[in-house]
Structure 1
């Protein structure tokens, strides 16, 4: 954005400079042309006044000497003709066949003062031709033409244009510096706001915009953003605290209820009573698992678990051994392949593996295989279950989401969301690879 603002300022200044300097350059060129033309017309008029009596008497010696000295001193050539266009004198002047001199001479014999070109542009080398009539008592006796080199005038014009261009460049440079400072001052709150938004999106809930920079409107925007971020952070913290508190408080009554239901086993009678008793205990266990998952998710989101260097291989071995009995009960082979040692920065890695192995065992049929692999900082849990599609993989980390064909499988849809939060808190990356079976890959 700053580049666009500076470009806009410079473009506007360039347009203003062009609108001012182009007419000024033309005006300077015309002024130089008029000055040179006035000098040449004055000289030509003076020589025409000297030529009039010389043409009447036929004595041109004095006039020719004067014209020769004029040429030697200024390098300006002259051509003198009579009324019949017979050449009487030519000293370094234009040739009689020169088109510019011929046209100017024709106008002089008609009684007019003629000059060409009208403007001394720097890119033209044509000499300045001035023709005046030689008259006496109103009668035109002949014409006098002067041809002046314009190199000095061209140099003067080029220098004037260069000064204008240099002034314009200095103005543009000053504009760029001023525009950069102005754009930086104006956009500093926007830059800080952008950085704070990215930090909050990355999980830094305490990121705020430093106030006190930029225009008043943007300062107010920064203050309003900080107030909004504080309100949102407070609401999120209240929500997480409520979930954690509710989950914790509900576990105690559930524990009591389970104990009471277990005590009822000896007093139940009648057909199906024992089966109903088992169903009640299973539902209590399921609700307890949901509350435990909510509590783990709330703790993970609040970032209260320390991050540190963890031996991924050791954690994988420990959780592999802990889940072996459950795997045997389900008739699933739980395999392990690790690099030793394998260290990485991680948070709650044991919870991550518990959630992934639990999910894999749930969805892997008897006779299948679940493989936990640790290679460097990459942890993989793969199973031979039905797997998920790419669309389902994109939704699997949303809370309470369940695949349509797994609604009858135990679970609350919180396992992968907990894994995603813990992996993100570790600064890692979680990937779900669809295909035959499901592969969950974590890069720490």
Structure 2
């Protein structure tokens, strides 16, 4: 946009310069030509006053010597002709031509003649002047001079070059001023664009300086800041509500579960014991939902922090943590890593993403299933892949898998809250990574999480591992 503004200012300046300097250049050429023309007319008039004896007695008289000295001194050729157009006296370098013939024809009818009207640098030819020789109102002949115009052309060219230099300086000044003016006008827009990208990337505290640029853009910046404050406040309230609600609900839920457990000791009826067991399972399921909501709120709130971790080491830790559950469900859990794989993520992103993906893989692989966790370098970052041998998902289900509380139709009876993949998507997005899921080559599902590599070397920050909850 700045380039367009500068080009607009420059085009306007060039048009103004053309409109001003073109007539000025023509005026300078005409003025220089008129100056030379006036001198030649004065000289020709003087020669005409001396040409009387030459025309009356057919003798050169003083005009012959004058023309010779004139030609030798100034290089200007001249000639005197009678009323019949016959040459009477000429300078040594005289040579006629179409231009002098036209000049003599006009002068012999009693009119002064000069051509051209203006000497242009690109037009060759002399400056021709002719005046009649009168005697008592009778035209006896004419005097014609042919002045070389090279000097005039050089003078006109010098004036034009001076005008071009002045115009170039004006254009450079215009460009400099235009860049400054465009920068002043567009600085709020540029900053607004940068702040918008910062907010989109997760920095909700970024704001625009509203004291820059024209008043209209300053008002726009102030309105944008107000809008960003309102949106940020609404998001903070929403996340705080989810976190507080989840936290506050855990206390009565814990008390309810204790009371239900105490009731179990007084039940002897088999049906009552079954209902008691189902009630305990429902309280455990509700506790998992609340923990998942707390994890999701915490992940969205911490999206701006970045740490460097060894994804391969964390993957080995999570595989070891899930190995007992996988063995209990007759699922083979394997790890394939290429050694240290450094990634830059938000805190606990790798841990929680692997927890959610391994949990789903083990849960849906079934007995004798195989879950493979792979860590490798890819695309200037680290790729973590969790592949299982379960039923997998259809393309439509893959599109909905990261929606909150979404459950596949054939998984309604499987324990879970429908928030695991949502948490993974939030953590990956906050880490500037990407989450992709696709069907396996033969069966099952392949979930891949990519995190960017650190830009400043493999220094590792080992955060305190919080208690991770299966979503």
Q: What's the offset of the Cα at 1:273?
A: 4.7
Of residues 252-261 and 239-248 in structure 1, the stretch that sits farther from structure 2 once superposed is 252-261
Q: 1:359 to 1:117 in 2, by over 3 A?
A: same
SS in 2 for 1:16: helix
Q: 1:403 to 1:20 in 2, by over 3 A?
A: farther
Q: What's the offset of the Cα at 1:100?
A: 1.3
- 1:382 and 2:387 are equivalent in the alignment: yes
SS in 1 for 2:16: helix
Of residues 316-325 and 197-206 in structure 1, the stretch that sits farther from structure 2 once superposed is 316-325
In structure 2, the residue matched to 1:78 is 78
Q: CA separation in 2, counterparts of 1:131 and 1:395?
A: 98
In structure 1, the residue matched to 2:369 is 368
Whether contact under 8 Å (2:77, 2:91) holds in the other structure is: yes
SS in 2 for 1:434: strand
Correspondence 1:30-109 to 2 at 5 A: 30-92=30-92, 95-96=95-96, 98-109=97-108
SS in 2 for 1:121: coil
Deviation string 1:334-369 (CA, Å, 9 cap, x unpaired) is 111123444433421322211111122233344332
Correspondence 1:122-137 to 2 at 5 A: 122-137=121-136
Q: For this pair of structures, how many residues does the alignment match?
A: 442
Q: CA separation in 1, counterparts of 2:128 and 2:178?
A: 50
Q: CA separation in 1, counterparts of 2:8 and 2:323?
A: 69
In structure 2, the residue matched to 1:12 is 12
Q: 1:420 to 1:53 in 2, by over 3 A?
A: same
Deviation string 1:171-225 (CA, Å, 9 cap, x unpaired) is 1111112222222222222222222111111111111223432223322332332
Whether contact under 8 Å (1:384, 1:438) holds in the other structure is: no
Whether contact under 8 Å (2:428, 2:449) holds in the other structure is: no
Q: 1:305 to 1:3 in 2, by over 3 A?
A: closer
In structure 1, the residue matched to 2:154 is 155
Q: CA separation in 2, counterparts of 1:322 and 1:315?
A: 10
In structure 2, the residue matched to 1:434 is 438
Q: CA separation in 2, counterparts of 1:156 and 1:304?
A: 73
Q: What's the offset of the Cα at 1:68?
A: 0.7
Q: What's the offset of the Cα at 1:21?
A: 0.7
Whether contact under 8 Å (1:93, 1:147) holds in the other structure is: no
Whether contact under 8 Å (2:125, 2:149) holds in the other structure is: yes
Superposition TM-score, scaled by structure 2 size: 0.86
Q: What's the offset of the Cα at 1:408?
A: 5.1
Q: CA separation in 2, counterparts of 1:408 and 1:48?
A: 125
Whether contact under 8 Å (1:393, 1:432) holds in the other structure is: no
Unaligned runs of 5+ in 2: 453-471
In structure 1, the residue matched to 2:2 is 2
Q: CA separation in 2, counterparts of 1:31 and 1:405?
A: 97
Whether contact under 8 Å (2:425, 2:435) holds in the other structure is: no
Q: CA separation in 2, counterparts of 1:281 and 1:92?
A: 131
Q: 1:88 to 1:306 in 2, by over 3 A?
A: closer
Superposition TM-score, scaled by structure 1 size: 0.91
SS in 2 for 1:438: strand
Correspondence 1:249-328 to 2 at 5 A: 249-265=248-264, 273-303=272-302, 307-328=306-327
- 1:214 and 2:213 are equivalent in the alignment: yes
Whether contact under 8 Å (1:186, 1:215) holds in the other structure is: yes
SS in 2 for 1:284: helix
Whether contact under 8 Å (2:208, 2:221) holds in the other structure is: yes
- 1:420 and 2:428 are equivalent in the alignment: no
Of residues 214-223 and 240-249 in structure 1, the stretch that sits farther from structure 2 once superposed is 214-223
Q: 1:400 to 1:139 in 2, by over 3 A?
A: farther
Q: CA separation in 2, counterparts of 1:396 and 1:128?
A: 92
SS in 2 for 1:257: helix
Q: What's the offset of the Cα at 1:379?
A: 2.0
Deviation string 1:107-155 (CA, Å, 9 cap, x unpaired) is 2222222222222011112111112222222222222221001111111
Of residues 342-351 and 53-62 in structure 1, the stretch that sits farther from structure 2 once superposed is 342-351
Whether contact under 8 Å (1:93, 1:146) holds in the other structure is: no
Q: What's the offset of the Cα at 1:391?
A: 6.3
Q: CA separation in 2, counterparts of 1:209 and 1:305?
A: 19
Q: CA separation in 2, counterparts of 1:424 and 1:238?
A: 21
Q: CA separation in 1, counterparts of 2:364 and 2:215?
A: 59
Q: CA separation in 1, counterparts of 2:91 and 2:415?
A: 117
Unaligned runs of 5+ in 1: none
